[in-house]
Amino acid sequence: MQKLVIEGERRLCGELTVQGAKNSALPLLAACLLADGESVLHNCPQLSDVCSACRILGCLGCECRLEDHTVTVRADAPCGCCVPDELMREMRSSIVFLGAVLGRVGECSLSFPGGCELGPRPIDMHLNALRRMGAEIKECHGVLRCTCPEGLHGAKTALSFPSVGATENIMLAAVLADGVTVIRNAAREPEICDLAGFLRGCGARIKGDGSDTITIEGVTSLHGCEYTVMPDRIVAATMMAAAAAAGGELALIGARSGDLDAVIPVFEEMGCRIYPYSDRLFVTRSLPLKAVRTVRTMPYPGFPTDAQAVVMAALAKAKGTSIIVENIFENRYRHVDELIRMGAVIKTEGKVAVIDGAPRLYGAKVRAAELRGGAALAVAALAAEGVTELTGVRYIDRGYERLEAQLTAAGASVKRLLE
Ligand code: EPZ
């Protein structure tokens, strides 16, 4: 087991390259299964979830090669349709393999996915939409057995909530289905557009991604293509929070300001200066932080739930009272008790968190319980007096490539040690 030892109160200064987006790379890897021949994905982050996705592709009969930040997948004739239970449990996003395997092989057997504990994470919308497309799905002892006796056909689906995973699964199943699929109330996240961009590069016919209605006209086959994964907007938001918490100036190479339209104004309200220049986004914080008006997490283009924890960590030392309302997941305040150990003054009730900015945070022994909450503790540690020992690093490693090296290069003191 490893821990991060963070000595706080050092201003950050320097350039950081924003890694490729985990939440885009994973569905793209699933999508590779649908394309004949070779697909090459550049800018894949080096994360355990990416390795798990490659292992799933291997189990399904694909050849998969990982070199630096490039993953090459050959999916000429996938021969499997079962994803082993231990791989399904490793990450929540393994559920996107359902749409891809069904689309390519016509049957699929997998267990319910694992992932971070953010509250109940049902997949009813995924399954309902696939059923409308002709899939027969039986749930038995935690295993989903899916067949398509007549093949998959296009269908019209209106999602009751713009679920990212359900939208991805429907797109993956629809690209090779017979006829036209229409997804209404579709997720509009940039990662959806990245998936559509890759699939179009493979020969798929998709329109409307980025809007609430996506139309997919099934084709008979897809071919592999070369594609570059988009930069990770949540890693960019985390680095903005780090600069806000510690003070200083960071240049975030590759960060796309357009993907951060709901996030940037919150940091500006805190007193940060943020501006894009060339291929980078500059974040400067020189004055003390101020509290902000209520931040409500919403589906894109609203404020992202994945940036809620890191923003809270920066607000923990901002002058005044801030309020956050978490509308996407039921249990996404698990970092709060740990922040309180560091001197933060935060109360939660249901969806609402009230943050009374504390004049000081103190280094403490804290434990990450999930990915973004873990990153938030690292952000708070950068602003805290003294040394923080942060355990549960394996959660942080699921979404951040070498976080300690990135922060250290910008002037922070972060060491990875054995627990
Ligand atoms: C994706 O999860 C991301 N994961 C999450 O990132 C992110 O927090 C989330 O979208 C919201 O932006 C990946 O892309 C791998 P949803 P996903 O389906 O697809 C409910 C991170 O930290 N729902 O949009 O699972 C669900 O319970 C992670 O990187 C149903 O009720 O999210 C939740 O309340 C964590 N039924 C809401 O919708 C369903 O069938 C949003 O979930 C599906 C979802």
- Residues that are catalytic: 116
Same domain, 10 and 100: no
Rounded distance between C-alpha atoms, residue 276 and residue 252, angstroms:
9
**Mean pLDDT for the stretch of residues 74-84:** 85
Same domain, 160 and 238: no
Rounded distance between C-alpha atoms, residue 198 and residue 193, angstroms:
9
pLDDT of residue 147: 95
How does pLDDT run across 130-148, given as a tens digit for each residue? 999 999 999 888 889 999 9
Q: Report which DSSP code applies to 289.
A: P
Same domain, 164 and 306: no
Strand order through the sheet with 63-67: 63-67, 70-74, 38-42, 226-228
Query: Residue 260 burial by CB count (10 A; 0-12/13-18/19+): exposed, middle or buried?
Result: buried
The pLDDT of residue 99 is above 90:
yes
Instruction: Tell me how far CA of residue 298 lies from CA of 21, 162, 302, in angstroms.
Output: 19, 10, 5
Residue range(s) defining the domain that contains residue 252: 2-18+231-418
pLDDT of residue 103: 95
Nearest CA to ligand 1 atom 9: 164
Same domain, 300 and 400: yes
Same domain, 40 and 179: yes
Nearest CA to ligand 1 atom 27: 121
* Residue, of 78 and 161, whose pLDDT is higher: 161
Q: Report which DSSP code applies to 230.
A: P
Nearest CA to ligand 1 atom 13: 23
Query: In this structure, are residues 266 and 292 in contact, taking their beta carbons and an 8 Å threshold?
Result: yes
Residue 293 sits in a domain of what CATH number?
Answer: 3.65.10.10
Same domain, 32 and 13: no
What are phi and psi for residue 291, nearest 5 degrees?
-65, 165
How does pLDDT run across 5-35, given as a tens digit for each residue? 999 999 999 999 999 999 999 999 999 999 9
How does pLDDT run across 164-202, given as a tens digit for each residue? 999 999 999 999 999 999 999 999 999 999 999 999 999
Site residues for ligand 1, CB cut-off 6 Å: 23, 26, 92-93, 116, 120-126, 161, 163-166, 304-306, 328-329, 371-372, 399
Q: Which atom of ligand 1 is nearest to the CA of 91?
A: 15
Same domain, 172 and 260: no
Residue 71 corresponds to which tokens in the numbers above?
A: 């993953």
- Provide the phi-psi class of 188: left if phi over 0, else alpha when psi is between -120 and 50, else beta: alpha
Domain boundary among 228, 243, 262: 228
Rounded distance between C-alpha atoms, residue 318 and residue 359, angstroms:
8
pLDDT of residue 115: 47
Best mutation site among 28, 49, 121, 335 for ligand 1, i.e. most ligand atoms within 8 A of its Cβ? 121
Instruction: Show the beta-strand stretches assigned E in 321-399.
Output: 321-325, 345-349, 352-356, 365-367, 387-391
Nearest CA to ligand 1 atom 21: 306
pLDDT of residue 117: 65
Q: Which atom of ligand 1 is nearest to the CA of 372?
A: 22
In total, the chain counts a number of residues equal to: 419
CA of 166 to the centre of ligand 1 (A): 9
CA of 359 to the centre of ligand 1 (A): 35
Same domain, 6 and 32: no
Sign for the pseudo-dihedral over CA of 33, 38, 39, 42: positive
pLDDT of residue 76: 87
What are phi and psi for residue 345, nearest 5 degrees?
-115, 95
CA of 310 to the centre of ligand 1 (A): 18
Best mutation site among 163, 194, 335 for ligand 1, i.e. most ligand atoms within 8 A of its Cβ? 163
Q: Which of 386, 227, 396 is nearest to 309 (CA)?
A: 396
Confidence at 88, pLDDT banded by 50, 70, 90: confident
Amino acid identity for residue 207 in this structure? K
Helix (H, G, I), strand (E, B) or coil at 60: coil
Q: Which of 335, 372, 92 is nearest to 232 (CA)?
A: 372
Nearest CA to ligand 1 atom 41: 163
Number of domains present in the structure of the chain: 2
Same domain, 332 and 401: yes
**Mean pLDDT for the stretch of residues 71-78:** 90
Same domain, 199 and 306: no
Nearest CA to ligand 1 atom 14: 23
Q: Which atom of ligand 1 is nearest to the CA of 305?
A: 8
Domain boundary among 198, 213, 228: 228
The pLDDT of residue 355 is above 50:
yes
Same domain, 348 and 329: yes
pLDDT of residue 288: 96
Which residue in the block uniquely carries the two structure tokens 């929540």?
92
Strands 2-7 and 413-418: antiparallel
Domain boundary among 188, 209, 228: 228
What percentage of the chain carries pLDDT values higher than 70? Answer: 98
| DSSP character string of 210-227 | TBSEEEEE--S-EE--EE
Rounded distance between C-alpha atoms, residue 189 and residue 171, angstroms:
14
pLDDT of residue 118: 72
Same domain, 285 and 393: yes
Q: Which of 225, 204, 235 is nearest to 22 (CA)?
A: 235
Best mutation site among 28, 116, 161 for ligand 1, i.e. most ligand atoms within 8 A of its Cβ? 161
